[in-house]
Amino acid sequence: MQFSSHQELTTDQSSHSRNSDQESEPNRILLVTVHHVLYPISVEILHQVFKAYGYVEKIVKFQKSAGFQALIQYQSRHEAVEALAALHGRNIYDGCCQLDIQYSNLCELQVHFNNERTRDFTNPSLPTEQRPRPSQQGFPDPGGLHPFQQPGGPYTQMGRAATVAAAFGGTLPPGVTGTNERCTLIVSNLNTDKTNEDKLFNLFSLYGNIVRIKVLHNKPDLALVEMADGLQAELAVNYLKGATLFGNKLEV
């Protein structure tokens, strides 16, 4: 994963020693480290987990030597205290994605973009840091697809390998290689009476960030789904190929 200079400045401030964080006074900003990550963790998933304990103002997620980390800023210190007490040591999913939560020493998160890495829920009008992306070889040009989140820059081969290793602790789910580079999926055999772009978004977003979705008007049983990167696309194929949706077995 690549970071803008703005986000790197923010995350550098969070890289205090573990002991220093543990001794910090209660603060409305939490530093969250997720251990044993077997599934992608998006900003939306973090928001869903932490909003149960108060109003989440901002989220910044990033990768450090300690693994997957995120900063969660609440509106008040009391809300952060409740969240830490309730969630520290808990798993997001059964058997994996364990939360290790400490108080951050930061006073305010600086968020400049609302995208797959950072989010300011108090300012939804922030830009998404949109960048152009070349079409994947062998797939149609996605320019006409229905847009959702914008992707960041493409991985280098070495960067992708490092990201995959860090995100999954060196172990990928069975059937996933982590080497796929194509981001756009062709989904066919859809139930044309019950399936639309919103329902496909809800299904595929379980496996990563959705960039665009388009149901083809001339073939309504077929859709194009563009994920943010090749790993997320491979995860979606691995878990959804052959799955039943509204009575039809999906071909992905």
Concatenated DSSP letters for the chain? ----HHHHHHHHHT---HHHHHTSPP-SEEEEEEES--S---HHHHHHHHGGGS-EEEEEEEEETTEEEEEEEESSHHHHHHHHHHHTT-EEETTEEEEEEEE-S-S-------SSSEEETT-TTS-------PPPTTS--GGGSEE-SPP-PPPPHHHHHHHHHHHTTT-PPTT--S-----EEEEBS--TTT--HHHHHHHHGGGS-EEEEEE-SSSTT-EEEEESSHHHHHHHHHHHTT-EETTEE-B-
**Both 99 and 196 in a single domain?**
no
Amino acid identity for residue 94 in this structure: D
CATH of the domain at 152: 3.30.70.330
**Both 10 and 102 in a single domain?**
yes
Please report the pLDDT score of residue 212 as a whole number.
87
- 134 belongs to a structural domain: no
- 207 belongs to a structural domain: yes
Which of 120, 154, 185 lies at the terminal end of a domain, its last residue? 120
In the chain, how many domains are there? 2
Pairwise CA distance, residues 14 & 24, whole Å: 12
**Both 166 and 228 in a single domain?**
yes
**Both 103 and 183 in a single domain?**
no
Q: How many residues are given for the chain?
A: 252
Give the bridge partners for 245, in sequence order: 248
Please report the pLDDT score of residue 178 as a whole number.
67
pLDDT tens string, the chain, 252 residues long: the values are 444 444 444 444 444 444 444 456 899 999 999 998 888 888 999 999 999 999 999 999 988 777 889 999 999 999 999 999 999 999 988 888 999 999 999 999 988 889 888 999 999 898 886 444 444 444 444 334 444 444 444 334 334 434 444 454 545 566 777 677 788 999 999 999 988 888 898 888 877 788 888 898 889 899 999 888 888 888 888 888 888 888 899 898
Pairwise CA distance, residues 2 & 37, whole Å: 19
**Both 146 and 109 in a single domain?**
no
Instruction: Name the residue range of residue 204's domain.
Output: 142-249
- 125 belongs to a structural domain: no
Which of 90, 120, 150 lies at the terminal end of a domain, its last residue? 120
Cα→Cα distances 153→103, 129, 215, 230, Å: 31, 10, 26, 12
**Both 114 and 60 in a single domain?**
yes
**Both 178 and 101 in a single domain?**
no
- 136 belongs to a structural domain: no
- 65 belongs to a structural domain: yes
**Both 244 and 213 in a single domain?**
yes
**Both 147 and 116 in a single domain?**
no
Pairwise CA distance, residues 24 & 87, whole Å: 18
Please report the pLDDT score of residue 15 as a whole number.
41
Amino acid identity for residue 169 in this structure: G
Pairwise CA distance, residues 58 & 14, whole Å: 14
Pairwise CA distance, residues 32 & 102, whole Å: 6
Q: Which two tokens stand for residue 62?
A: 């990033």
Contact 158, 223 (CB under 8 A): no
**Both 107 and 148 in a single domain?**
no
**Both 103 and 170 in a single domain?**
no
Q: Which two tokens stand for residue 115?
A: 């995208």
